[in-house]
Amino acid sequence: MPNFDELLNHVGEFGRYQRKISVLGCLPLVLFAFVLVGVVLGNSPEHWCRIDHAESILDSCRWNERELRELRQRIAPNGSLGRCQRFNVNWNTNVVNCSGSSNISHFYSPLAVTPGLEPCDHGWVFNSSHTTVVTEFSLVCDMSWLADLNQVCLAAGFFVGSFVTGYLADRFGRKPCFIGSMLGLGLAGLGVAVSPLYTMLLAFRFLQGFFAKGAWTATYVLVIEFFGSSNRKFVSVMSRTLYSVGMVILPCLAYYIQSWRTLQLVMTIPTFLFLVYYWLVPESPRWLISQRRIQEAMGIVESIAKCNNRSLPDNLIEADPLTENQEDLNPPSFKDLFRTPNMRRNTVILIYAWFTSTVVFQGLVLRLGITGDNVFLDFFISAVVELPTGLIFYLAVDRVGRRPLMAASNFIGGVACLAVPFISGEFLWLKKAVAILGRLAVAVGFETVNFANSELYPTPLRNLGMSVCSSASDIGAVVAPFLLYRMASIWQELPLFLYGTMSVLYSVLVMLLPEMKGVNLLETIDDLEKMKRTNCFCKNKKNSDGNI
């Protein structure tokens, strides 16, 4: 009996229907990039203690708090002024007498006795026209560690969502998991925008990560299962490109929308538009067939044929494909990812690959510092660097194969990391160029492991396999800043040696994975185990009953 890939030969592997599904399925990735808005909202601008007991001097001299801060710097010992402490001085008394003048440059009145210091118990003034979570909740100085929880809670949501939503998508279907996750993502985003308490905001950030991970894995797997082996890369190119577009749009919106709550609403409301996918996007026919729901699957296959102006032979319409040689229908289990030797090897290597990709990529982003302290421009340039990733992946993945591309890109990224510390500071442009090259190479490897991960698991375990393996990236997102800042405190270039070593090891390990270039998507666990025995790594070979 024919398998689903043979059905695609009759109805079209890359027709109008697949292109429509690919565009619809990848559009949400623009919004998934907006979940990272915490990088902008959690930005801590320059700040100083709010000056109390200064009403008279501000009124008589017609100064603002910024100008009074400049005067404080003039009269402070050695011109110093802390961000977390203030002088114990009543500025309304005898420190300054401006005599009605408004020119602050006329004053220089050093204090005879250095005053004592005290905490900023009246709040802070922030040197920014934009409000952020940090400015609203005063997450600076002794409370600065709370600002880091913004991204930590998001990453924790990603991690938990990987296991829960991955299981649900394989158990109940890709489509209901996607729709439910988009609804949850929208409601969580609204919760972030209206949270009156920081603890409540963190809870909603966790839910954002939980539902974003479910929506991303469900839609990616759903779309890729509509394609044959020769055109699956199109899905990765579309998803990576649209995600990168979202990353470019994010700092632009954040720059022009000064209120963080308004920005959060603007980025959240479009999420609800994707609920119409309940009527626009069908369930994955591969998944339906794996669940023995043959009649529903054949209805979708007929729709594909009609949209692609192809016809399905009558004998296939009447038959129940894939009902023979099927494994017993059992709910997916986490144990299945480690049950057989090949499955166990693939899972362990992919977990390390996801973890390394995130630690190295995030570390290079945090370290790059291309344009100083302009967070919006830094983020914009960082996103633009990623734009060629999809094109490079598209041109290379079927020419050189999945394994060689993952190995080569991470080897190049690793060597770049190891090389940067040995480039003299006199050639700063060269150091930055090599770092950018390394980041681009790692980004290409990141996209390739995402693509290969979906190919290395059979249909009943595909969503669960992707979710569990990619959960290692969520751990990496939490670990990356800790490794960077702790190691950089010892020596600024030390993190690069770690990144380089991890990437080179990655490039060696991925060569132990099977090559899926030109191979149909696996339908059963037995298909994966047969690959080694039949040596079917690079060509689309089939036996008489249609199995790989």
Q: Is the pLDDT of residue 361 over 50?
A: yes
Instruction: Give the per-residue pLDDT at 325.
Output: 45
**Phi and psi at residue 456, in whole multiples of 5°?**
-90, 5
Residues 411, 444 contacting (CB under 8 angstroms): no
pLDDT averaged over every residue in the chain: 79
**Phi and psi at residue 450, in whole multiples of 5°?**
-60, -45
The DSSP-derived string for 444-499 is: HHHHHHHHHHHHSS-GGGHHHHHHHHHHHHHHHHHHHHHHHHHHHHH-TTHHHHHH
Instruction: Give the per-residue pLDDT at 43.
Output: 64
Q: What is the pLDDT of residues 316-343, one digit of tens each?
A: 655 454 444 444 556 677 788 888 888 8
Instruction: Give the per-residue pLDDT at 357.
Output: 92
Rounded CA gap, 336 and 329, in Å? 13
Cβ count within 10 A of residue 105? 9
Whole-angstrom distance between the N-terminal and C-terminal Cα of the chain? Answer: 13
- Determine how β-strand 124-126 pairs with β-strand 47-49: antiparallel
Q: What is the pLDDT of residues 226-284, one digit of tens each?
A: 887 778 888 888 888 898 899 889 888 888 888 889 999 999 999 999 999 999 999 99
Instruction: Give the per-residue pLDDT at 327.
Output: 47
For residue 161 the two structure tokens come to: 């969502």
**Phi and psi at residue 171, in whole multiples of 5°?**
-85, -45
Q: For the whole model, what pTM was predicted?
A: 0.77
Q: Is the pLDDT of residue 112 over 50?
A: no
Instruction: Give the per-residue pLDDT at 502.
Output: 95
Rounded CA gap, 395 and 543, in Å? 30
Among 179-183, 407-411, 535-539, whose mean pLDDT is lowest? Answer: 535-539
11-35 mean pLDDT: 89
Selected residue with higher pLDDT from 183 and 78:
183
Per-residue confidence at 106, pLDDT binned at 50, 70, 90?
very low
Cβ neighbourhood burial of 215 (10 Å; 0-12, 13-18, 19+):
buried
Name the nearest CA neighbour of 329 among 281, 301, 294.
294
294-312 mean pLDDT: 87
The DSSP-derived string for 416-448 is: HHHHGGGS-GGGHHHHHHHHHHHHHHHHHHHHH
Rounded CA gap, 286 and 155, in Å? 30
Q: Which of 123-137, 221-235, 407-421 has the highest mean pLDDT?
A: 407-421
Q: What is the DSSP letter of 515?
A: P
